[in-house]
């Protein structure tokens, strides 16, 4: 196949939602259609001991939540789909935000009972920053939920994006009959507790009396009224508006019952964009360019607990990646060669010799790569737009086993490289403080240090308002500032100077007193 053909058959997307909206369940059902897994209902069925395929970390199995982005590739109808399942929990939003830089489109899951929730609003803000195309799947139709018209209004109001329903539910909860496809003019009947895919019944004319036979006269009348209203409000989907991130096509279904998922997937591969043009510090890069370029958006240590390994996730942006080739690591200005390159199906991996734009490749790394790094065939440029966040919660690391100090330090360093949290080491006393976006991250760090490195620690709360990276054009003034505020000066994991401000008012006073010092509120990913 030519480069252009390889690009045309690829779709790289992320699934986003508020926790418990059914995102991981939907992910599993999409994998089922792609033949990547064989069991339906493995998430909810108590008889099946398998955990959700995309939640593979031990702590995810115990807590029942996704805490790290999982990357899964599969084929469906001759389309290569790269799916990134993101954490829904707000404490792991940073991982999700960075993952959204590596996708070309998004499927957003909304719970029909709870409607649009706060985490979905935050994630949509990131999608809007990049004008990412969004498809919406309103889930859990087998439960008593909100009126579908109200849900559409809520999505438009809260997420500031226009909607365009492509399917429509016939009742909800105990009386849920199925969905009518406005896109294909067909009926799909719902059978409770079935995980098999129902065949669609073609009904080209919604006034055909055969509709009454399938769903009953009263439901047929209501559906006809709804469809007439919908056709008046939403005449025809403008695919360009979807591609520009202005309109979100909407589907209704029940992921746990495997209902409505096939329609979503079939429409997705028709509508969703192939790999798109991307911005760098010097120019725009088109995917069909012959020379390889890509960037690192995620790092994960110890994906296989039996082998101490570190894997950097690379998004291929242009050209062809070939295993064993030398590529320029732009930040270090050094040539780097990857003899091991893998494709993922959750934690299962297979070696890949080549990858194309849109593909996600796992690179075995010994510590050279960081989140945001760009790899090219020689051109010096950097991909832009990796979001960065200042920590909101700070806690001191207290080692509980002096015999395992080396293991603790190594574990902390590797976990920080993943972008899970940030580590600050005070110059006086060498006190180590971890900063995170959410409280649950401390639990994950503590758990993984013990399970993966054999190191035990506790976290003591710290009275810190903000970590500020500091710089100055006047080296003498910077040295004077460091000397006067030594108790509050720390180094991050890259040995950059950081001022640990204890309160907002105090920080303002310090800024006023030291006008020659620049205080930066972005993390190490945006130098």
Are the C-beta atoms of 264 and 107 separated by less than 8 Å?
yes
pTM of the predicted model, to two decimals?
A: 0.76
Tell me the C-alpha to C-alpha distance, in Å, between residue 121 and each of 114, 352, 367: 13, 37, 35
pLDDT at 129: 78
End-to-end C-alpha distance for the chain, whole angstroms: 39
Per-residue pLDDT of the chain (527 residues; tens, 9 = 90+): 899 999 999 999 999 888 788 888 888 888 888 776 655 444 333 333 344 444 445 544 554 443 344 778 888 999 999 988 776 445 455 667 778 889 999 999 999 999 998 878 878 887 887 899 999 999 999 999 999 999 999 999 999 999 999 999 999 999 999 999 888 888 888 876 655 566 778 887 888 888 898 899 999 999 999 999 998 998 789 999 999 999 999 999 999 888 888 889 999 999 999 999 999 999 999 999 999 999 998 887 654 555 456 788 899 999 999 999 999 999 999 999 998 888 865 445 678 899 999 999 989 887 788 888 999 999 999 998 775 566 889 999 999 999 999 999 999 988 887 777 889 999 888 899 999 877 878 988 998 899 889 999 999 999 999 999 999 999 999 999 999 999 999 998 878 899 999 999 999 999 999 999 999 886 544 44
pLDDT for 111: 94
Distance CA 399, CA 39 (A): 43
pLDDT at site 85: 74
- In the DSSP assignment, the letter for residue 90 is G
**Sequential DSSP letters for 465-478:** -EEEEEE-S-HHHH
C-beta separation of 24 from 52 below 8 A:
yes
Beta-strand pair 79-85/70-76: antiparallel
Both structure tokens of 149? 């018209």
Round the CA-based radius of gyration of the chain to a whole number and report it: 25
256, 260, 261, 267 alpha-carbon torsion, rounded to 10° = -170
Residue tagged 């950059």 (tokens)? 496
- Please provide the DSSP assignment of 189-232 as one string: E--TT--SPPPPEE-SSTT-THHHHHH-HHHHHHHHHHHHHHHH
pLDDT at position 195: 58
Report pLDDT for 193: 60
Q: Which of 101, 67, 58 is nearest to 85 (CA)?
A: 67
What structural domains does the chain harbor? 3-271 (3.40.50.300), 278-376 (3.40.50.300), 393-520 (3.30.70.3280)
**Exposed e or buried b per residue across 408-417, where buried means at least 16 C-beta atoms within 10 angstroms of its C-beta:** bbbbbebbbb
Burial (0-12, 13-18, 19+ Cβ within 10 Å), 379: middle
H helix count then E strand count, the chain: 14, 31
Pairing of strands 321-322, 326-329: unpaired
The pLDDT, as a whole number, for residue 346 is 46
Range 200-224 burial, b when 16+ CB lie within 10 A, else e = beebeebeeeebeeebeeebbeebe
CA distance 85 to 60: 13
């Amino acid at each position: 196949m030519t480069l252009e053909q390889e690009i045309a058959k690829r779709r790289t997307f992320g699934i986003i939602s508020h926790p418990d909206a059914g995102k991981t369940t939907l992910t599993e059902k999409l994998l089922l259609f792609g033949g990547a897994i064989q069991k339906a209902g493995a998430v909810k069925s108590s008889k099946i001991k398998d955990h959700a395929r995309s939640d593979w970390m031990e702590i995810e199995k115990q807590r029942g939540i996704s805490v790290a982005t999982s990357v899964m590739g599969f084929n469906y109808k001759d389309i290569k789909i790269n799916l990134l399942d993101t954490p829904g929990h707000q404490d792991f939003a940073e991982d999700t935000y960075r993952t959204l830089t590596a996708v070309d489109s998004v499927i957003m899951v909304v719970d029909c009972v709870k409607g649009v929730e706060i985490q979905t609003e935050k994630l949509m803000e990131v999608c809007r920053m990049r004008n990412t195309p969004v498809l919406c799947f309103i889930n859990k139709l087998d439960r008593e939920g909100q009126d579908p018209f109200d849900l559409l209004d809520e999505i438009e109001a809260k997420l500031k994006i226009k909607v365009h329903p492509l399917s429509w539910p016939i009742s909800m909860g105990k009386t849920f009959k199925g969905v009518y496809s406005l896109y294909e003019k067909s009926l799909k009947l719902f059978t409770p507790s079935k995980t098999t895919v129902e065949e669609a019944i073609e009904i080209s004319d919604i006034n055909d009396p055969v509709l009454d036979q399938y769903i009953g006269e009263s439901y047929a009348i209501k559906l006809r009224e709804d469809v007439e209203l919908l056709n008046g409000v939403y005449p025809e989907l403008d695919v360009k508006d979807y591609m520009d991130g202005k309109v979100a096509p909407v589907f209704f279904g029940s992921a746990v019952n495997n209902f409505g998922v096939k329609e979503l997937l079939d429409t997705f591969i028709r509508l969703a964009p192939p790999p798109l043009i991307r911005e760098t510090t010097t120019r725009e890069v088109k995917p069909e360019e012959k020379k390889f370029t890509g960037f690192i958006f995620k790092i994960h240590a110890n994906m296989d607990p039996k082998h101490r390994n570190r894997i950097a996730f690379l998004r291929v942006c242009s050209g062809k990646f070939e295993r064993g080739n030398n590529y320029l690591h732009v930040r270090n200005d050094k040539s780097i060669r990857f003899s091991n390159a893998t494709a993922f199906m959750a934690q299962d991996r297979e070696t890949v010799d080549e990858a194309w734009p849109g593909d996600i490749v796992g690179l075995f790394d010994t510590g050279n790569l960081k989140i945001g790094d760009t790899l090219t065939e020689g051109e010096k440029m950097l991909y832009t737009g990796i979001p960065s966040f200042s920590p909101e919660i700070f806690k001191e690391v207290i080692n509980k086993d002096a015999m395992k100090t080396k293991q603790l330090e190594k574990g902390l360093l590797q976990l920080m490289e993943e972008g899970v949290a940030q580590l600050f080491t005070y110059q006086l006393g060498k006190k180590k403080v971890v900063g995170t976006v959410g409280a649950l991250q401390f639990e994950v760090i503590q758990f993984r240090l013990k399970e993966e490195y054999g190191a035990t620690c506790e976290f003591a709360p710290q009275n810190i308002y903000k970590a500020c990276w500091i710089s100055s054009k006047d080296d003498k003034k910077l040295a004077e500032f460091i000397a006067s505020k030594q108790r509050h000066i720390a180094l991050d994991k890259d040995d950059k100077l950081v001022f640990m401000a204890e309160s907002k008012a105090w920080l303002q006073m310090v800024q006023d007193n030291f006008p020659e010092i620049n205080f930066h509120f972005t993390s190490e990913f945006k130098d």
